[in-house]
Amino acid sequence: DATVQRIAAGEVVERPASVVKELVENSIDADASRVSVAVERGGKDGIRVRDDGVGMSAEELDLAVRDHHTSKIGDIADLEAGVGTLGFRGEALAAVGAVSRLTMRSKPRDGEMGHELTVEGGDIGDSSPAGCPAGTVVEVDDLFYNVPARRKFLKTDATEFDHVNTVVTQYALANPGVAVSLEHDGREVFATDGNGGRSPPSSRTQSGGTGNLRSTVLSVYGREVAESMVDVEWSADDVSAETPIRSVRGLVSHPETTRAGREYLSTFVNDRYVTASTLREAVLDAYGGQLAPDRYPFAVLFVELDPATVDVNVHPRKLEVRFDDESGVKEAVSEAVKEALLAEGL
């Protein structure tokens, strides 16, 4: 029933940024080459995610908003096998629809006609034909309008937007081959060009250096940060000691190119964005005493390791991972970053 649905939805949907995360993941899963995110008042009033992905037919649109419907069975197997998947067992759109006014418009790439469907506080409407380009647009208005306690818990527009920005930035960095843009209250915040190639970041960095990653960093963090970034290029093959990690690649900032307040740390394990206190500590440790108090470096790091040695906390809202060998991972990642800084004489 509706109350149970709303309570369950709260598990997936905590704030505007969690909605944005689910929608952007769906777009990337749908093979989009362009994903445009626009939010109003930190996402509290409106969220719109538009993609040029595979799209959905009228039947698929209707199924998409039903609880536990997913077209991604393979990903669930992935999730159980090791580091995660995008999406979460078909719960996201149903959960978002239960606590907002949700409108979806979609047209399959090879389809003739588009369709539109709305869900209001869990009530699923009938789909109707609508003119739209190939791909999908999802609009989420008035998040938590029917759950006042949650609505009240949301922070200021600026804080909610910070969370949205962090999420969209992660996906932009993780997918240099996708043109990702972000707009807040009608102003463009950043846009990547998607020219970083279609291959996963780790294989691309292996063959082509971190040039593409640097251009994506330039788009999201600006020129000053991008130019100060130092290449991290570390492989287990180059060290004699046993290590739980296969490789660490990416970019970290000059110890003086830091920012106060929030952290600009993006870590990916086997190409999936994750958070892990071990990785965070490893990076901060590598800078040793070089960081001013309350200043944080920028880092974008892709860590490769045996998926069987990573535990994913399969809570839908979190991407927190743990490693079988926490201290071994920390040591190796820290070493990789130190080596990169040393090579630049920093």
Asked whether position 116 contacts ligand ADP by CB under 6 A, the answer is no
Residues in contact with Mg ion, total (CB under 5 A)? 3
Candidate list 42, 90, 97, 250; residue touching ligand ADP; CB under 6 A: 90
Asked whether position 167 contacts ligand ADP by CB under 6 A, the answer is no
Range 8-12 contact pairs with CB under 8 angstroms and sequence separation of 24 or more: 8/91, 8/95, 8/98, 9/94, 9/95, 9/96, 9/98, 9/99, 10/99, 10/147, 10/150, 11/95, 11/316, 11/317, 12/88, 12/91, 12/92, 12/95, 12/96, 12/316, 12/317
Q: Which residue is nearest to ligand ADP (CB)?
A: 87
Asked whether position 70 contacts ligand ADP by CB under 6 A, the answer is yes
**Is residue 301 within 8 Å of residue 268, measured between CB atoms?**
yes
Give the Cα separation of 175 and 204 in Å (integer): 11
- Binding residues for Mg ion restricted to 22-81, rule: CB under 5 A: 26
Partner from ligand ADP, Mg ion, none contacting 70, C-beta within 5 to 8 A by type: ligand ADP
Asked whether position 99 contacts ligand ADP by CB under 6 A, the answer is no
Asked whether position 136 contacts ligand ADP by CB under 6 A, the answer is yes
In order of 4, 6, 27, 203, 214, the CA distances from 24 in angstroms are 26, 22, 5, 22, 22
Least CB distance to Mg ion at residue 8 (A): 15
Partner from Mg ion, ligand ADP, none contacting 176, C-beta within 5 to 8 A by type: none
Binding part of the chain for Mg ion, among 8-16, 20-28, 158-166, 308-316 by CB under 5 A, reads 20-28
Candidate list 42, 87, 200, 316; residue touching ligand ADP; CB under 6 A: 87
Give the Cα separation of 140 and 42 in Å (integer): 12
Candidate list 87, 114, 196, 200; residue touching Mg ion; CB under 5 A: 87
Asked whether position 303 contacts Mg ion by CB under 5 A, the answer is no
Please give the structure tokens belonging to residue 39. Answer: 């939010």
Partner from Mg ion, ligand ADP, none contacting 228, C-beta within 5 to 8 A by type: none
7, with CB counted inside 10 A (0-12, 13-18, 19+), is: exposed
Residue among 156, 90, 155, 145 nearest 123 (CA): 145
Residues in CB range of 166: below 8 A, 6 or more apart: 17, 262
Asked whether position 92 contacts ligand ADP by CB under 6 A, the answer is yes
Choice between 18 and 169, CB closer to ligand ADP: 18
Q: Where are the beta strands (DSSP E) in the chain?
A: 34-40, 46-51, 101-107, 114-120, 123-124, 128-130, 135-141, 179-184, 187-191, 230-235, 247-252, 258-260, 264-269, 272-274, 295-304, 310-312, 321-323
Asked whether position 316 contacts Mg ion by CB under 5 A, the answer is no
Per-residue x/- mask for ligand ADP, residues 17 to 36, rule CB under 6 A? -----x---xx--x------
Partner from ligand ADP, Mg ion, none contacting 202, C-beta within 5 to 8 A by type: none
Choice between 55 and 194, CB closer to ligand ADP: 55
Least CB distance to ligand ADP at residue 241 (A): 40
Asked whether position 88 contacts ligand ADP by CB under 6 A, the answer is yes
Least CB distance to ligand ADP at residue 136 (A): 4
Binding site for Mg ion (CB under 5 A): 26, 87, 92
